[in-house]
Structure 1
Amino acid sequence: MIEMKDVYKTYSNGVSAIAGLSVTIHPGEFVYIVGPSGAGKSTFIKMIYRQEKPTKGKIVINSLNLADIKEKEIPFLRRKLGVVFQDFKLLPKLTVFENISFALEVIGEHPKVIRKKVLETLDLVQLKHKARQFPDQLSGGEQQRVSIARSIVNSPDIVIADEPTGNLDPDTSWEIMRTLEEVNNRGTTVVMATHNKEIVNTMKKRVIAIEDGLIVRDQARGEYGNYE
């Protein structure tokens, strides 16, 4: 579960990104985070995986208060979180298999277990046949599916997706959304920041709209709204 209570975030330059936000996201939900540019969506997302620390307030992920944890504890938090970025962030000199297996190697998983988990995850994102290729040999959509595979190979409780379709054409975007929906159907909570109106309005999920650092709308099976 993700719980934010009276959360504020003010950056060192004085910009207030989040201004007293409170929300609860339950296990297994699929939630869109929408709003105009500069509304605080990215800060909201980054605070969940502790890229940013709240200035004030409480953020609890599965009983762990992120405002209190030490820097050395952050890697342990992220073992239970998967993050998918708009620009993929794949390691260019590693193959598809190696990009995904790296997430397991850093936590000391056994090589036999790594191979099994990586192949199963590649099968889920329908890229097992690309296992030996490098990122620059893949299309943008394929790279994003590798990014999703990397984010879920360790069976995280929560997947955070920050504009995962932002650099993709419409057809490829739908492929990515079908993959994320399958991940969610397997029980993983998905929180996705997006500007894609068509996806939000077609794939009806919970919608949390943020404006000026505050939640202005929270709807089950909601719509995108009038944002650019």
Structure 2
Amino acid sequence: MIEMQDVWKTYPDGTHAVRGITLKVDRNEFVYIVGPSGAGKSTFMKMVYREERPTKGQIFVNGVNLVSLKQRKLPYVRRHIGVIFQDFRLLPKLTIFENIAFAMEVIEAPKRLIKKRTMEVLELVKLKDKAGSLPSQLSGGEQQRIAIARAIVNNPAVIIADEPTGNLDPDTSWGIMKLLEEINFRGTTIMMATHNKEMVNTFRKRVIAIEKGMVVRDELRGEYGYED
């Protein structure tokens, strides 16, 4: 599903954000990426959907080598990768329905399928009644649910979630986590970067800890392992 082979990322200023990471994430796994701020987690995540390219090494997602992949083919690969951001990144002038539907329109899905699938994911995230609302009319938790709906509307094989509960209150965060668990149960691989110690220690999944750009711990049913 996701495989990294001796992956390095060095920025032009000489910063080594990722140093020699080798790992494999299997289909249907749920993996937490943890570590202190500045450890290289965001760079690591961005390389999985090729917002960043490694300086050295190979990265495979669904059997596709992202390093050698031609730029014109990247949009087709990204159809199978859903990304959830901490700051939601919803389009403010579009309704909730339109924000989700847009993800299907860009891949030229049939209009009838767009309407059907968009309403399906709105029902899954329990916001069907908000279809005609604008993002500004929703709470932070509701906006994150819409961001999740947009990420899954094209039935991706893998979801990359970078601090999806970072801006949310604790109660809302638990709801988002339970939703992600349900999506994972339905067969989607999830890789989630988080600083939420209580959540990691409660929803025991595989934990990959990154420090100074290196994997220092990789445990099944692991714990967060850092002080607040």
Shorter-chain TM-score bucket reads over 0.9
Tell me the alpha carbon deviations over residues 33-85 of structure 1, each in whole angstroms, 9 at most, x when there is no partner: 00011111001100000000000000001111111012222111110000000
Matched with 1:27 is 27
Secondary structure of the residue that 1:14 maps to in structure 2?
A: coil
Unaligned runs of 5+ residues in structure 2 are none
Q: Alpha carbon RMSD of aligned pairs, Å? A: 0.7
Matched with 1:225 is 225
Residues 1:157 and 2:139 aligned together: no
Give 1:171's aligned amino acid.
D
Matched with 1:113 is 113
Matched with 2:65 is 65
| Conserved 8 A contact 1:36-1:227 | no
| Conserved 8 A contact 1:81-1:158 | yes
Residues 1:80 and 2:80 aligned together: yes
TM-score (structure 1 length as normaliser): 0.99
Supply the distance in 2 between the matched residues of 1:153 and 1:212 (Cα, whole angstroms): 35
Residues 1:93 and 2:93 aligned together: yes
Give 1:127's aligned amino acid.
L
Matched with 2:45 is 45
Supply the distance in 2 between the matched residues of 1:26 and 1:83 (Cα, whole angstroms): 18
| Conserved 8 A contact 1:35-1:227 | no
CA positional deviation for 1:114: 0.3
Supply the distance in 2 between the matched residues of 1:70 and 1:15 (Cα, whole angstroms): 26
CA positional deviation for 1:180: 0.5
Aligned structure 1 segments of 4 or more residues deviating by more than 6 angstroms: none
Unaligned runs of 5+ residues in structure 1 are none
* Number of residue-to-residue matches in the alignment: 228
Supply the distance in 2 between the matched residues of 1:146 and 1:137 (Cα, whole angstroms): 12
Matched with 2:7 is 7
Secondary structure of the residue that 2:19 maps to in structure 1?
A: strand
Secondary structure of the residue that 1:225 maps to in structure 2?
A: coil
Tell me the alpha carbon deviations over residues 58-113 of structure 1, each in whole angstroms, 9 at most, x when there is no partner: 00011111110122221111100000000000000000000000000011111100
Give 1:9's aligned amino acid.
K
TM-score (structure 2 length as normaliser): 0.99
Alignment of 1:194-205 (within 5 A): 194-205=194-205
Matched with 1:213 is 213
CA positional deviation for 1:227: 4.7
